[in-house]
Every structure is written in C-alpha cells, then in structure tokens.
Chains A and B, each alone.
Chain A
Amino acid sequence: MAIGLKIPDNTAFTAALALRRLGIAVERVERSEIWFFEDEGSALIERVKADETIFNPNKHCVTVFEEAVPRSGEVWIEPLEPRTGGAAATAWRLFGPSEATLDRESLGAAAERLLCNPAIERAVY
C-alpha cells in the first residue's frame, strides 16, 4: 500500500528541483510511504481510512498494490536496518515531459546521486 499526499508535497517539489540541478530531466516527483499489510483485499483500505493513524483523509491518498514491487518510474528507498512501527520504504516516482515516467537508467541516477544514501539505505526498482 502506498500512502501519498493529495495536498502539495513540498518535499517532492524540492526533490524535483534538486534532481534537475543534477541534470536529471524530471518534471514532477511523487512521494509516498510504503506499508506492507497481511490483510484481506478491499476491506484493508476501509480499515486504514477509518483508523486514521497512518492516513488522514484531508491530506492523504492511498493506493493498494497487487504486487509488492515499485510501479513504472518508481524507486523504493528502504532502510538497511529494518524499522519497527514505521513505513517500510519511501517511494519516489519520477515523471519526465508529457507525464512519461523516467526510465530505469535515469531512475538509477536519481537514486544514486540524491535519493539513496547507500550507507543506510538500499534502492529497490
């Protein structure tokens, strides 16, 4: 499950500016938190929305993945040391001109040069 912001995301905007400065042709960045649940299908979204612990309906949107893998143009940054009580990863989805998602090479450059500190994190594509 990815929980992102439906209000303006200043961090994603800053990341886009910094990536452009690094020469990576990114027009827009989406950021979300990745949570893993062992739960039953569509009821999960309703439970998460009702609970409001990790989801605030005034500012968040939620996406459920059929498979636990990043979407096109997306990299997940996971801590090397597993965290308890927090999101499993931060997802960064990068878009270029005409809303096309960035290719794997550009995504790798973005992770290596800014989004991932390999001393404490790993990038999952």
Chain B
Amino acid sequence: MSARIAVPVFPGTNSEDETLRLLRDCGGNAELVHWSQASNLAQYDAYVLAGGFAYEDRIRAGAIAAHDRMMDSVIEAAGSGKLVFGICNGAQILLEAGLVPGTGSIRRPTAAFTRNAPAPHFVCRHVYLKLAIEPARCAITAALPEDAIVPAWAAHAEGRLAATPEHLREIVTGGHLAFIYAHSTGAVDQAVIPNGSALGCAGLVNREGNVLAIMPHPERDAWNFNHLDRREGDDVLATSGGSALFRSFVQALVSS
C-alpha cells in the first residue's frame, strides 16, 4: 500500500483540485480531507496544504487556520517526522503555526509571509524558484538536482517574507532558506523578486527538513496546457514544469 497523502481543505481553500490532480499525476496516493473530517487526518502519511484564502484570511493570512482542529493533526504529524508541504496560503498557515522556519514555538510565529512591498498589491506573475539548499537538506526536495530551477506562478498579495533582523539571521544561519526567486538561468537579482520578500525568499524549510513552505504555485505550471513554454499535447505533464517538485515530494514518500 503506497503512502497516503492528505490535502486538507479549510473553508476558503481554493487550489485543492489542481494540487490533488498533480499529486496523483506524479504517482501520489492523495485525497482531499475537508474540515468536517478533521478527525481522519492523523491516519495519513503526508500532508499538502493548498493555496486559497482559508477562513477568508481573517485576522491575518493563515492565522485562524493555524488554530483549526485540522492543524492539530498536521502539527503532531510534523513533529513525528511526517512530510508537510504548504503552497501559498498553505505556506502562510505553516508560518502562523510556527512549523516553519520553526525557530520558535508551535503557534508562536517568528516570521510571516505578509503584505507585498513596495506596492501592497496582488501580484500574478510567472516566476522561477531556485533551490537554495542542498537537495537532501529537505526530504521534499531530495530528488531535485542541485540549484534546481522550478517554474511557478506567484499569485498573492501577501507573499513577502518579513521577520525581525534577529529572526532573519536565524533563517540564514539555520539553513531555512529553501527557495529564492531567480531568473530562468539561475541568476539572482532584485528584479526577479515579485513582492519585496526579505532575502529574496520564496520558500522556507524547518530544521528537521520535513516541512516545506513555498509561496508560488508550481501546480499552475505543470501540465502542457498551463506551462509557460506551452506545447501541444495538453493533458500531459510538462517535462520542464513545476511538477518536478511534486515528483520529488512523492519520491520522498516512496523512499521512506
């Protein structure tokens, strides 16, 4: 029996279907688990928190969801070493839950993906994520090559990493900076950062390497029909698309 992946659905999650579909197309045994089924979550082997606006981002993006009963199971699972992957709003929830960067306590966040800068506007822009850690540092990225470039879409108004200088230092020195924004060539400069994110951060990993949070959506550049370098044969995975990260996630479950 292959490892079971849960895609928790909070009220307001809106990217669960494409996330589920990509997990399955990459060979994962994934299911949606709605908030009314929270008691079922513990039985899964891994978790992918999809994008959206859980609880309408009330108070702050991810703040209410981080205290939802579903997150009780996800937090416990993360503590036991199970894989947890959050995308966009899922990433915001993981930060609010204190799971990433994980330099504080549970549900006591030390960083946030917050309002974009300098303009506090919603950004919808194609981006490239560059792996900024050794692939094996994070179980979810372990099957990617060094300096991997993953195409994705940034689609958020609150994706800028912000933290106090002390906690930003911890993120760097602790090896939590998993992905940074880059050009398709891998070159890095300020122009590629779509939201003013500190450190050019697009994704964070916890100390143990089993929880990964990224802001852009690789699942929105995965099949030929939504791949930036569009080709004929719509319904198949684009070889150079964002599915590489999902394949690595599924591969990690097979390996474990």
Contacts and interface: CB of A to CB of B under 8 A. Distances in A.
Interface of A: 10-11, 14-15, 18, 21-22, 80-81, 83, 112-115, 117-120
Contacts of B120: 83
A43 to B, nearest CB: 31
Interface stretch (B31-39, B60-68, B134-142, B177-185): B60-68
A15 B59 contact: yes
Q: Tell me whether chain A's interface is mostly helix, strand or loop, or mixed.
A: helix
A112 B67 CA distance: 13
A105 B110 CA distance: 22
B213 to A, nearest CB: 14
B58 A14 contact: yes
Given A112-B108, A114-B59, A119-B167, 15 more contacts: A11-B56, A11-B58, A14-B55, A15-B58, A15-B59, A15-B64, A18-B64, A18-B67, A22-B67, A80-B164, A114-B63, A114-B67, A115-B59, A117-B96, A120-B112
A117 B167 contact: no
A14 B112 contact: no
A83 B67 CA distance: 27
B162 interface: yes
Contact of B162 (A22, A81, A113): A81
A114 B68 CA distance: 12
Contacts of B60: 117
B37 to A, nearest CB: 18
Contacts of A113: 107
A119 B109 contact: yes
A119 B111 contact: yes
B210 to A, nearest CB: 22
Nearest to A14: B58
A23 to B, nearest CB: 11
Contacts of A80: 164
A117 B109 contact: yes
A81 B111 CA distance: 14
Contacts of B108: 112
Interface in B85-131: 96, 107-112, 114, 120
B26 interface: no
A114 B109 CA distance: 10
Residue picked from A18, A80, A118, A119, most chain B C-beta under 10 Å: A119
B110 A119 contact: yes
A118 B111 CA distance: 8
B162 A11 contact: no
6 contacts: A10-B56, A15-B59, A22-B67, A80-B164, A118-B110, A119-B162
